[in-house]
Amino acid sequence: MLHRVSSYTMFVMTTASAGHLSDTELAAMSLATNVILGFDFNLLLGMSSALETLCGQAFGAKNYRMLGIYLQRSWIILFVCCVAISPLLYFTTPLLKLLGQSPQVAELAGTVALSFIPLHFSFAFQFPLQRFLQSQLKNSVIAWATLVALIVHLFVNWFVLFKLKLGLVAISLALGFSWWVVVFVLLGYSLSGTCPHSWTGFSWEAFSGLWQFLKLSVSSGVMICLENWYYQILVVFAARVGNSVAFDALSICMTINGWENMIPVGFFIGTGVRVANELGAGNGRKAKFATIVSVTQSILISIVFWFMIIFFHNEIALVFTSSEPVLKEVSKLSVFLACTILLGSVQPVLSGVAVGSGWQSYVAYINLGCYYLVGVPFGVLMGWVFKQGVLRIIRLNPFQTLILAIIVIRCDWDKEALKAGMHIEKWGNISPAGSLI
């Protein structure tokens, strides 16, 4: 949880810095991060979550050697994926113009997107390293590495913006630099002998079974992306139907929501690892108990944030902007923001259960139906056809949470533990191909 909050804080600092330059820079940075960067961030994050299932269950079954093999396979697949989707960053400007954005904002957002290329490639290495260490319960290492990077980012961002006055591109590059700090710290820790059983060196075995690994990675990626791209699609629609002040206010609310959502996402990761560990060890009852504890804690924490946003509704946007019209618009959206945070506290935890149990493909179908057959048409209808404004466009979709809750409640955890054992045997039954190091 500390790691996810610290990581997202780097994005918040970058967006806030853009907001203090001008409203145009804020809009460009919001589009570049929420739409373009958010696309590949969620895709790569989702694909790396295959390691939560495989590494978590292998660790629970004490099949430690396979963790390092899974890590290397994920690096290969995610790096190739990064190369494949890199052109998206280059064509940001024409894409945004095609979607109806103003030429000035689209041109600036395209420049920002190009400066995100170093950050883009850091995802392919950082996300698998995180899953590799989390599955071994080495969460403190990830938290400390991210805190160090956050401190570095605070200094670098301040230096390039206020001392060198280099502007929007410089703060975007500073964000990429800070994320690579995390990569090198985690890589140095993992390869330095601190994981002797799970990291035995680079191996040719990483190149075997890539097709099966890719299928699980794609299922994981689709599961996460169908959920998160829903909000990014509606942000684009909101930019078209609302004025610039309303869009800036909505962007700030979405950033605050994403910031707080790192706490439920922390439960998502922790629950996924714990459920996978317990199922791999054959403890279905403990996996169920971990689910109940995580859901309860996430709800209680979100209630606290609900009260904070309601009480400080006039001040919550000051970190992003000093524009009075934007501040007033954020204040109007504060009730919507508070309710979104409260209602969104359960779904990430249930998604974590799905990842730990290996249900990615099933949840992908659920997300497709709930978000794209119901959520997007309803949001566009309310905002574009009935002219209800940006407040009506971005709406929390409760159907997915309800369906996931029913699945989890009806789950036979002892049966899932047996399936996990067969899953480990299937993925681990590959003859060693030798080690390079």
pLDDT tens, N- to C-terminus, the chain (437 residues)? 888 888 888 988 888 888 778 778 888 887 788 777 777 888 888 788 778 778 888 888 888 888 899 999 989 999 999 999 899 888 888 988 887 778 888 899 889 999 999 999 999 999 999 999 988 888 899 999 999 999 999 999 989 988 888 888 899 999 999 999 999 999 999 998 888 888 988 888 888 878 878 887 887 777 777 767 766 666 666 666 556 677 777 778 877 887 888 888 888 878 888 888 888 888 888 888 988 999 899 899 989 999 999 998 888 888 777 778 888 888 888 888 888 888 778 888 888 888 778 787 777 777 777 776 776 677 667 655 655 555 555 554 577 788 888 888 888 888 888 876 666 555 554 333 333 33
- Does residue 88 lie in a domain region? yes
Q: Where are the alpha helices (DSSP H) in 344-380?
A: 347-357, 360-367, 376-380
Which tokens hold the place of 169?
A: 């591109």
pLDDT given for residue 431 in this prediction: 35
Helix axes of 413-428 and 50-60: crossing angle, nearest 10 degrees: 90
SS3 437: coil
pLDDT given for residue 349 in this prediction: 87
Q: What is the CA angle 239-243-245, rounded to 5?
A: 100
Q: Which amino acid is present at 396? A: L
- Does residue 435 lie in a domain region? no
- Does residue 238 lie in a domain region? yes
Provide the residue range defining the domain that includes 349.
2-428
Domain count, the chain: 1
- Does residue 436 lie in a domain region? no
pLDDT given for residue 58 in this prediction: 83
Which tokens hold the place of 119?
A: 């950050």
* Residue 132, φ and ψ in degrees, nearest 5: -60, -45
- Does residue 148 lie in a domain region? yes
Percentages of the chain per state (helix, strand, coil), in multiples of 5: 80, 0, 20
Which tokens hold the place of 15?
A: 């967006």
- Does residue 437 lie in a domain region? no
Give the pTM. Answer: 0.75
Q: Which amino acid is present at 423? A: H
Residue with tokens 């009260």: 307
Residues 250 and 389: their CA atoms lie apart, in Å, by 11
- Does residue 209 lie in a domain region? yes
Residues 6+ apart with CB under 8 A from 93: 106, 107, 109, 110, 111
- Does residue 348 lie in a domain region? yes
